[in-house]
Amino acid sequence: MPRDTNAAQAGNSSASAPTMAVVGNLVRELRRTAGMSIATLAQAAGMSPGLLSQLERGQGNPSFTTLVKLAQALDVPVGRFFLADAEAGSLVRAGAHRRLLTADENLEYTLITPHMNGRLGMIKVQIAAGWSNESAPFKHVGEECIMITEGELIVCVAGTVYTLHEGDSLTYDSGLPHWYRNATGHNAALIGAMTPPSF
């Protein structure tokens, strides 16, 4: 019987363990590729050069909002901070899904698809009570659909505000500025799909 190689790959949970050193190396690589100095990128991302330097050395602990601002300043989707390298069509077992490389305890992004390199991306998002990215809205090419699986979430797309409850879904042009806010005292969760896979 042929060996289930996809299952073997997905079972290697240590390969998907996030480290801040990986985040720092990626930020430094993207900055250099863009031809930007630490001072230039820090100014564009609204952070201090010292904090950016610490982050690049793996000593920082960036919030999700900080990563969004860095991604926007570098003109890359924030999804670049996901671990990748899985093959297209790979089976991802329960408990082996890849997570965003950030220690922000208020937000947890988990990939449902094996990576963000195909034509479709799907994510699961846990959003803590009170969290919002209103100060750093998302904006990326494509179309997105989200469905609330737990709690309640305020979503604003290009100035139009929606209040979504469990079971509600919203589809929108992700090229328009959009942000989320959990204004409740309870966690919220959603499943999102996007094409192309960037966010």
Under the banding of pLDDT at 50, 70 and 90, the label for residue 28 is: very high
- pLDDT at 31 exceeding the cut of 90: yes
In a domain, 177, yes or no: yes
Average pLDDT, the chain: 81
Residue range(s) defining the domain that contains residue 128: 119-195
d(CA 38, CA 51) in angstroms, rounded, equals 10
0.75 exceeded by the pTM?
A: no
- pLDDT at 11 exceeding the cut of 80: no
In a domain, 47, yes or no: yes
Write the pLDDT tens digit of every residue in 77-103: 777 776 554 454 577 888 888 776 554
Do 77 and 131 lie in a common domain? no
The pLDDT value given to residue 3: 30
Do 130 and 187 lie in a common domain? yes
DSSP 159: T
Write the pLDDT tens digit of every residue in 146-179: 999 999 999 999 999 999 999 999 999 999 999 9
H/E stretch holding 83: none
Peptide bond into 196 cis (omega under 30): yes
CATH of residue 147: 2.60.120.10
The domain tally of the chain equals 2
In a domain, 48, yes or no: yes
Contacts of residue 167, Cβ cutoff 8 Å, sequence gap at least 6: 147, 148
In a domain, 135, yes or no: yes
Do 186 and 136 lie in a common domain? yes
Distances (CA, A) of 19 to 28, 85, 97: 15, 16, 16
CB atoms within 10 A of CB 54: 16
In a domain, 29, yes or no: yes
In a domain, 86, yes or no: no
Contacts of residue 110, Cβ cutoff 8 Å, sequence gap at least 6: 97, 98, 99, 100, 123, 124, 125, 126
Do 126 and 184 lie in a common domain? yes
Contacts of residue 118, Cβ cutoff 8 Å, sequence gap at least 6: 88, 197
CATH of residue 46: 1.10.260.40
In a domain, 143, yes or no: yes
In a domain, 75, yes or no: yes
Do 136 and 182 lie in a common domain? yes
